[in-house]
Amino acid sequence: MDLISGESSKVLRKQGFRSLKLMSVDMEQELGNEPEPFGADYGRLDNGLVYYVRRNSKPRMRAALALAVKVGSVLEDEDQRGVAHIVEHLAFSATTKYTNHDIVKFLESIGAEFGPCQNAMTTADETIYELFVPVDKPELLSQAISILAEFSSEIRVSKEDLEKERGAVMEEYRGNRNATGRMQDSHWQLMMEGSKYAERLPIGLEKVIRSVPAATVKKFYQKWYHLCNMAVVAVGDFPDTKTVVDLIKTHFEDKRSSSNPPEIPFFPVPSHEDTRFSCFVESEAAGSAVMISYKMPVSDLKTVKDYRDMLAESMFLHALNQRLFKISRRKDPPFFACSVAADVLVSPLKAYIMSSSCKEKGTLASLESMLLEVARVRLHGFSDREISVVRALMMSEIESAYLERDQIQSTSLRDEYIQHFLHKEPVIGIEYEAQLQKSLLPQISASDVSRYSEKLRTSCGCVIKTMEPRSAATVDDMRNVVSKVNSLGEEMKIAPWDEEKIPEEVVDEKPTPGDVTHQLEYPEVGVTELTLSNGMQVCYKSTDFLDDQVLFTGFAYGGLSELPESDYISCSMGSTIAGEIGMFGYKPSMLMDMLADLETALQLVYQLFTTNVMPQEEEVGIVMQMAEEAVRARERDPYTVFANRVKELNYGNSYFFRPIRINELRKVDPVKACEYFNSCFRDPSTFTVVIVGNLDPSIALPLILQYLGGIPKPSQPILNFNRDDLKGLPFTFPTKITREFVRSPMVEAQCSVQLCFPVQLTNGTMIEEIHCIGFLGKLLETKIIQFLRFTHGQQIYSAEVSVFLGGNKPSRTADLRGDISVNFSCDPEISSKLVDLALEEIVRLQEEGPSQEDISAILEIEQRAHENGLQENYYWLDRILRGYQSRVYAGDLGASCQILEEGRLRMRESLAPQTAQAALQRILPHPCKKQYTAVILMPQRSRFGFLSSIFASSPETRYIRDTKILAGIAGLAVLVFSIWRYSRK
């Protein structure tokens, strides 16, 4: 008899972490059972290949595989620069046993996107091939392993294969020649100066890509691709590990690589006492930025003490980030955003990288503030209170990880084993790790943490860079800032940190809970729908996909499309302004110290509805300044200029799609913006809130009633729209063919193409039509890539087809309007020709139809994506929302979801070469050459020889919650809210 019900066993599990015994830790002890990785069937074949196999059932019936090779660009000789990456590409061209066609077919059969760099990657130190395979058909697993085995020693590297692949690699090379790419390249060189790494970026040299002989590529492959430098990893929902180990043996055992493999050399990166400076001026740069890197050798992670040091380091970075964030929210801040993270750059080298973005001409002030904060920690340390906030945060992260231990994704486990093989990172198992952290975290004091500031000194491997769109700061200026802060530090003239008071509770006075006036269950989708006494509709679905994820979305009909054009610009800024000022009755910086759980999240929604955002003059000043900088940055970016022109053309210059300009921004009325924002979130009876994730109804329901049910209903309805009366978006697609070149100054030649067709779906079998257009998009994407790349071998790297149907009204009866667009990047010389070729291929599909093989491949991709989605909260949230917003919804969510799913299945059943052909004729203009727009972004050679510059996008600070309020798009006011206390990489 089962005495423990599902719910109480969950409670027991929750207590699991609390009852985990503290360990008495011996600091010198080795971590776990190293070198044996935890949980894997692990071994080495006679030819040297290492294998890791593990059973894991998330997601069900899938396996994550990889071939990890300790070979990267750093091993290349001068005439081979770029060859490691070319080998990776050639793997997908052909091997001894498989042709290109076989490999493409195989990837389609597992529902994977085609292409090198989709399923593989090359870095300075390694090359990794990855496959994600369904295991419900055992032959697929066997074939996947056999393909990895072919990559290990049987890549063909013929002259013809190489000629065909040069174009794609060149296009990738060119794709990296934009502002960010160039900045990253020279950043890399400065960081690695004095080491071989400086001259070995994986993408290599143009000369080599264009002309390296096949023999040179083959020589590199044969020399370094040795089985003793490789591991195969398989983590998945296998019945047992032995069968998989046997498959690995079957496919790999006979593989041989050259005898006497050369030892893989170690290339040190020397440190330096002098601070290295660079000022980059980059006309295309998206803003001004400062980056300080403190380099150091990678530290060992072998013993418990090493692990404790790693925890202390992590606490240091967390605590410093909290301060930096708070500074960014002050009046007249030195930077808009600033954060610090640790990053392993290449095998021997890691760095603490601190980066900020700031206003133009603000780089020196930003640099000074960053250096000052590091010095402040060095002089005064963090307070016990700051460290206890960080400790609680980390404790809650490890608790979540421990409670979710049976929910770890196979891909995450695979990545851990890859790191174990490549970088000797121990894999110790979450049970042991949780116990270790629980025992160690309380022992780490504020002074232990603060000590890490000693590693951040300008006299030890430090590289400082600024990046500006127009030159302002010089190296001398920067040097002066450094010595100024250093002497302030030496003279102890830096004051301690001034702490802000934070609220104990978000809601001062608990609201009176509302009641449920109506309750419905929809067992077919596992959803409960409540109507609360204030009129709010709340729909929730409990899942067990992830223990610590709960997603919220709420929507009401209305939104920006209902405003007169004259109010549009001010009101569209409402959410930006409110977001910066604080929409929950507190400044954003005050809420960041609180730990999010379901109750806090619901309290925040309550606050959103019951408090007013009141713009104070100085706050608005900061926000508008940030907005202005963002607009300026966008206007400098050639791609934004291009994207804006595309929108202007396709939507008839509609104000709704036009990007906001500086002069318009200055006309924004912040009071009106906030009033509009406030009125959007006032009347609970207009909202439907959908909650998906791990919720226990017996705990969640009282909270929902208190905080969502407790929102008072206004005496008069506010912004209460009937969906059938809403306006559509104001736009018109051009009726004639338009082809246009956008010429933009670019430092290096790059070209982007967007080809776009109008789409109108007429009422009738609309549900199938909506599914159908999704299938057609995928079909066009696959066929255009195949046609351009394989038939013509042209210089095209990738193509993407996207469908936009947002132009319609939410009405239940009107036709749907939107567009379908094909985007690709290519060599500028052939862009016009490729547009013609793409049009030709679409016409061919309209006239002759696709093949049965094409249709099967598309169906397979869709089915796999659907199955994967059913195990994810996001997918369900989207499904439920679509159920509510669908035109077939008439008060019964279950029925609406069922009709949608039946439509999908009917579409799948009926999809055949003839029906797809008919749909292409019906949905697109027929022939498609009749009505389209093609916009091509072409380089206008810049006259100035601009210096390249830095700026890797600033490392993202991970926050405990992520809140986004979108006050209205296309007929909807949308509230997006998600709590995810712990997110694994």
CB of 171 to Zn ion, least distance (A): 9
> In this chain, which stretch among 109-117, 320-328, 497-505, 731-739 interacts with Zn ion, using CB under 5 A?
109-117
Burial of 667 per CB tally in 10 Å (0-12, 13-18, 19+): exposed
Compose the 685-724 pattern: x for residues touching Zn ion by CB under 5 A, - for all others.
----------------------------------------
**Identity at 518, one-letter amino acid code:** H
Q: How far apart are CA 365 and CA 481, in angstroms?
A: 9
Q: Which of residues 439-458 bind Zn ion (CB under 5 A)?
A: none
Closer of 166 and 647 to Zn ion (Cβ): 166
Provide, rounded to whole angstroms, the least separation between the CB of residue 936 and Zn ion.
24
- The residue written with tokens 């019951």 in the block is 610
Cβ atoms 796, 825 nearer than 8 A: yes
Evaluate whether 942 touches 528 at the Cβ level (below 8 Å): no
CB under 8 Å, gap of 24 or more: what pairs does 325-330 form? 325/589, 325/592, 325/957, 326/500, 326/589, 326/592, 327/369, 327/373, 329/587, 329/588, 329/589
Cα–Cα distance, 659 to 673 (Å, whole number): 17
Minimum CB separation from Zn ion for residue 456, in Å?
35
Paired tokens of 703: 């909270």
Q: Give the chain's end-to-end CA distance (angstroms, integer).
A: 40
Active-site hit among 108, 126, 165, 172 = 165
284 is catalytic: no
CB-wise, 156 or 864, nearer to Zn ion? 156
Catalytic residue among 88, 386, 580, 619, which? 88
Distance CA 873, CA 692 (A): 6
Q: Which residue, 117 or 170, is less far from Zn ion as judged by CB? A: 117
Q: Out of 20, 45, 117, 805, point to the residue binding Zn ion (CB under 5 A).
A: 117
Residue closer to Zn ion by CB (options 172, 580) is 172
Least Cβ distance, residue 104 to Zn ion (angstroms): 16
269: left (phi > 0), else alpha (psi -120 to 50), else beta?
Answer: beta
In the region spanning residues 168 to 197, those forming contacts with Zn ion, defined by CB under 5 A, are 172
88 is catalytic: yes
The Cα 760–Cα 728 span in angstroms is 13
User: Between 117 and 198, whose beta carbon lies closer to Zn ion?
Assistant: 117
Contact 780, 822 (CB under 8 A): yes
Of the two residues 120 and 624, which places its CB atom closer to Zn ion in the complex? 120
Dihedral pair phi/psi, residue 863, rounded to 5°: -65, -45
Q: Beta 230-236 vs 50-55: how paired, if at all?
A: parallel
CB of 304 to Zn ion, least distance (A): 41
Integer-rounded Cα Rg, in Å, for the chain is 29
Compute the distance between CA of residue 624 and CA of residue 359 in angstroms, rounded to an integer. 12
Whose Cβ is closer to Zn ion: residue 127's or residue 363's? 127
CB of 87 to Zn ion, least distance (A): 10
Phi, psi of 958 (to 5 degrees): -90, 120
- How far, rounded to the nearest angstrom, does the alpha carbon of residue 707 sit from its chain's CA centroid? 32
What distance in Å separates the CA atoms of residue 511 and residue 806, rounded to the nearest whole number? 38
Q: Which stretch binds Zn ion (CB under 5 A): 117-125, 275-283, 799-807, 906-914?
A: 117-125
Residue 233 in contact with residue 261, Cβ under 8 Å?
Answer: no
| DSSP string of 117-156, one letter each residue | TTSEEE-SS-EEEEEEEE-SSHHHHHHHHHHHHHHHH-B-
CA torsion sign for 570, 575, 577, 578 is positive
Residues facing residue 195 across a β-bridge: none
Beta carbon of residue 140, minimum distance to Zn ion (angstroms, whole number): 25
Rounded least distance, CB 782 to Zn ion, Å: 19
Task: Give the shortest CB-820-to-Zn ion separation in angstroms.
Answer: 27
Q: Hey, which bits of 282-393 come out as E strands?
A: 288-297, 337-346, 349-358
- Degrees to nearest 5, angle at CA 804 with 803 and 808: 140
CA dihedral defined by 860, 862, 867, 871, rounded to 10 degrees?
Answer: 150
Comparing CB distances to Zn ion, the nearer of 71 and 842 is 71
Contact 724, 888 (CB under 8 A): no
Q: Which residue's CB is nearer to Zn ion, number 117 or number 394?
A: 117
Q: Which is nearer to Zn ion, 92 or 238 (CB)?
A: 92
Tell me the two tokens of residue 489: 């530090």
Token pair belonging to 249 = 């043996």
84 vs 592 by CB, closer to Zn ion: 84
Secondary structure letter of residue 303 according to DSSP: B
Tell me the residue number closest to Zn ion, measured at CB: 117
Q: Shortest distance, CB of residue 764 to Zn ion, whole angstroms?
A: 45
Q: What is the biggest distance separating any 2 CA atoms in the chain, rounded to whole angstroms?
A: 84
| Closer residue to Zn ion, CB minimum distance, 117 or 430 | 117
Which residue blocks in 831-892 are alpha helix, DSSP H?
831-848, 852-869, 873-885
Q: How many residues bind Zn ion (CB under 5 A)?
A: 2
Q: Which two tokens stand for residue 469?
A: 């769109």
CB nearer Zn ion, residue 95 or residue 400: 95
Question: Which part of the chain contacts Zn ion (CB under 5 A), choosing from 112-120, 201-209, 657-665, 701-709?
Answer: 112-120
Q: What angle do CA 177, 359, 472 make, to 5 degrees?
A: 75
Is there a contact between 561 and 727 (Cβ–Cβ < 8 Å)?
yes
DSSP E strands in 533-612: the ranges are 537-542, 549-557
Tell me the window of 164-172, 239-247, 540-548, 784-792 that interacts with Zn ion (CB under 5 A).
164-172
Q: Which two tokens stand for residue 499?
A: 């702490």
The residue ranges that bind Zn ion (CB under 5 A) are 117, 172
Which residues are tagged catalytic?
88, 165
